Amino acid sequence: MGGAKDIVEFCGVPRLSFSDFPLGNAAGRPQDVASQAFTMEHALKVLESASGPRTTVQSPLRWSDNPDWKLDFSNIDQLSAEEIARRRAEFDANKEVARQQRVADGVAKTE
């Protein structure tokens, strides 16, 4: 399963279930179990039915009916300085939660 079709195909993967979704969302929409289940089923069908190596099959799911999302999704030029700062703070907070979990699991050391 993947996005960035041009890159993945250039690498020569044997089979690709391509989702034309933003990077990081190749397994379906976040918090959308139905799209995730459909995407997994689609990928398994590609694996089962691919006629040969370097087979790409595009998922029929769409991120949006309006293709403008490709221009705006994570486009830093479209964000204010305040929004960039807010997103950075949220990202840093999530990293800290993950770090604390790794410490609790004994995978990482305390700093």
User: One digit per residue, pLDDT tens: the chain, 111 residues?
Assistant: 998 899 989 998 899 999 999 888 999 999 999 999 999 999 999 999 998 889 999 999 999 888 888 887 778 888 889 999 999 999 999 999 999 999 999 887 766
Q: Which of 110, 2, 106 is nearest to 56 (CA)?
A: 2
Position 59 scores a pLDDT of 95
Helix (H, G, I), strand (E, B) or coil at 46: helix
